[in-house]
Structure 1
Amino acid sequence: MTTRRTLLKTAAVAAPALALGAARPAQAAGVLVTGVMPAQLASFDTAMKTFVTERSISAAQLAVARNGKILAARGYGSYSRNGGSRAQVQPTSLFRIASLSKNITAAAVMRLVQDGKLSLTARLPQLLGLSTAADARLGEVTVLRLLQHLGGWDRDVSKDPLWLDHTIAATLDIPLPIEHADIVKYRTERPLDFDPGSRYAYSNYGYMLLGRIIEKVSGQSYESYVRTKLLTPAGISRMRLGRSLSNERPITEVDYASKYTNKTVMDTSGTVVPYQWGGFNMPNQDANGGWLASAVDLVKWGFVFNGPGAVLNAASLSAIFAKPETGMQTGSWWYGGGWQVRTSGSGINTWHNGSMPGTFSFMARLSSGISYVAIFNRREEEGSPDFDGIDPILGKAAGAVTTWPTTDLTPRYFA
């Protein structure tokens, strides 16, 4: 997967850096919608309709919550089901969420720590039985450094191994599709790009490794552990890991749009396929970007981070949002466990985006108690407007609300 090199540097706030783009009312008014959007939150609805219209997005979702209550859940547009028929996007339709998966993985790691089964200071080679022959510095990679993207891998230097399927298969002389173990073998045989703990470099590979640690320590598959220890206690049942091919989609998963193609990574045929359908290996993305979810699922999942509860205790939450050893980044933010973080008054704003071919997602949790998630079935490509702009746009929409509704939609979408 996943998020591009330039991550969001500002949390969604009431006075964003970018203003709403000029809408064409007739087109915006024609967007198909489902779900519930209270009149008090019309600014969010207008913002989303404008955003999807200007970017020719065919399927999207938005969910808004405040103080632990889900206030709005909306589907926008339609999608092609397997078999060709079209369906309107529902608030519960599933989307690939890309790097929004990282806070799920971070929570799973902290649950293992919380239960006394793992230490944040445990070292990667010992946990996974990896050799340090190619680079002794690998021995300095700890669980905490993996969580905070301080592990020593820089995709701008050595490329992201989650997207090197053909290279890895050729180098190791193995057939496609490759698996997690092949990716780990390939990367472990090469030196790190910098000293672990010395600087921040966003790493999908580091989070993929956390998934393997979760499996090794728990004795369960990554997905099974997350379902059992995190999602079920949080009352969430729809979320699941995604698959690579369109015909593998559950009926409630949307389709995805991209103008790019790639040679299939599913076999060695060399067939050129739509990038989003077989141009990358979705199961290999599991812990760093492989989850399917709806926006309403994700705002409910976000409640886990609001305070101690059935999933995480106070110590775990504190560790997730703690500043790393490298301190803050330029712009006064830092990367915790699966979240970008910035102080806001006496609290913190946390946020993250996700991006892979055919997907863009964004989630923000503000110190005011407001949270929101937007997901789209395409991402920014050459010639299309900036998708990162959804951050200040939704921040401005939140700032325009004068009276917040109080009706909680949670029972409507979660049995």
Structure 2
Amino acid sequence: MNIIHERNKIERHIESLKASEEFNGSVLVAAHGDIILAKGYGLASVELGAANQRETVYRIGSVSKPITAAAILTLVQQGRLRITDSVTTYLPVYPQWSKITIEHLLTHRSGIPNLVMLADFPQFSLQPHTLDELMAPFSALPLNFEPGTQFEYTNSGYILLGKVIEAISGMNYAEYVQQHVFLSAGMEHTRLDDSRTIVPNCASGYEYDSSGRMIRASYIDMSNVHAAGGFLSTIDDLYRLDRALRHHRLFDHHLLQSMNAQHFQPYGYGWFHTSFPVLFHHGGINGFTSTFIRHLEQDFTVIALSNRVTPNTAALGLRLMEMLIEG
């Protein structure tokens, strides 16, 4: 691979999208362990005219799910959890979930209704909630289907995984992930967002109204997404996660194979894999969109984080991965 040629080709593509206001954010592209490009485009704050940088911090939405899945697998590595265990092994106060396994939660095959799709969630999400309060609305509902029989993407399952992590470890979720994932991976700028703490270099989020006019993002208290979508991160920190996974710094080769394997379509342990060996996850949360794409065999990685709600972030990531594969 001619890195200079690839960098020029990639930069031209991103710059064309920036010029037409189709992308605004930060992008990292790497091949075989070498970073080809890592930089910001557009504005982190429209009001202040502050530019996005390589170091800019973004809400990553559901790109948080691979982090939660990795945290679960560290518990497997420690011998404190088995993927085939029932949720009630660790949370006996929820007997209605006795047929749901940890694997069902990881792969969105639990049947638990998706909290964010409930009719009152927009109003509910404006106020802070404890983890137990967050689980209350969906723990009272019947399952949508028999566990293990269907795929239905749901934030509720990953919120529940956060609760399992707390029950087993005796730590709160954020502390456990910090100690057992972020420290091992060298992720110094990733944290669970609480909507209140001032975070240096953090971008402001934007959306578009029905007329296409850019507006400030609608409010959400970040306690309402928790382990399903609550992290702030940077392109470099997510790349550090990629390297930590590839080099078995979080758990051993056997567990990494389990995480990456095509257990079910279209979702494994924290990753979509509809075009295996390419794993990916997209994210979207008020004001922000993200994508994290990894080619397992070629060791290609593409990360794009944006402080605007737009499908262009995912489309950009997929196109950049195609460009790497095409060479």
Shared topology, TM-score over 0.5?
A: yes
Distance 2:302 2:312 in 1: 19
Distance 2:141 2:246 in 1: 40
Change in Cα spacing, 1:365 to 1:162, as seen in structure 2 (3 Å) is: farther
Structure 2: segments with no counterpart, 5+ residues? none
- Does the aligned pair in 2 maintain the 1:52–1:60 contact within 8 Å? no
TM-superposed deviation, 1:202: 0.6
2:303 is paired with a residue of what secondary structure? strand
TM-superposed deviation, 1:102: 0.5
Picking from 217, 221, 225, the partner of 1:276 is 217
- Does the aligned pair in 1 maintain the 2:288–2:308 contact within 8 Å? yes
Q: Deviations over 1:248-290 (max 9, x none)?
A: 44131011111359xxxxxxxxxxxx7735x222123121111
In our comparison, the structure showing a higher alpha carbon Rg is: 1
- Does the aligned pair in 2 maintain the 1:148–1:200 contact within 8 Å? yes
Q: Which has the higher helix share?
A: 2
Give 2:27's aligned residue. Answer: 62
TM-superposed deviation, 1:52: 3.1
1:350 is paired with a residue of what secondary structure? strand
Question: How large is the RMSD of aligned CA atoms in angstroms?
Answer: 2.7
- Does the aligned pair in 2 maintain the 1:108–1:230 contact within 8 Å? yes
Change in Cα spacing, 1:315 to 1:275, as seen in structure 2 (3 Å) is: farther
TM-superposed deviation, 1:375: 1.0
Give 1:41's aligned residue. Answer: 7
Q: Deviations over 1:346-383 (max 9, x none)?
A: xx211111112211111111121111101111122xxx
Change in Cα spacing, 1:99 to 1:108, as seen in structure 2 (3 Å) is: same
Query: Does 2:71 match 1:114?
Result: no
- Does the aligned pair in 2 maintain the 1:70–1:299 contact within 8 Å? no
Give 2:282's aligned residue. Answer: 353
Matches within 5 A, 1:3-402: 38=4, 40-55=6-21, 57=23, 59-80=24-45, 85-132=48-95, 136=96, 138-155=97-114, 160=117, 164=121, 166=123, 176-244=127-195, 248-259=197-208, 276=217, 279-307=219-247, 309-324=248-263, 327-328=264-265, 334-342=266-274, 348-366=277-295, 367-380=297-310, 387-399=313-325, 401=327
TM-score (ref. length: structure 2):
0.88
1:232 is paired with a residue of what secondary structure? helix
2:128 is paired with a residue of what secondary structure? coil
Distance 1:62 1:108 in 2: 25
TM-score (ref. length: structure 1):
0.70
TM-superposed deviation, 1:183: 2.5
- Does the aligned pair in 1 maintain the 2:245–2:256 contact within 8 Å? yes
Distance 2:194 2:316 in 1: 27
Q: Deviations over 1:157-192 (max 9, x none)?
A: x863597163599xxxxxx43332122122111101
Structure 1: segments with no counterpart, 5+ residues? 1-36, 170-175, 262-273, 329-333, 402-415
Q: Deviations over 1:17-61 (max 9, x none)?
A: xxxxxxxxxxxxxxxxxxxx956411211222222333454x411
Distance 1:149 1:90 in 2: 34
Q: Deviations over 1:286-319 (max 9, x none)?
A: 2111111111211221112324x22110121122
- The percent of aligned pairs where both chains have the same amino acid is 26
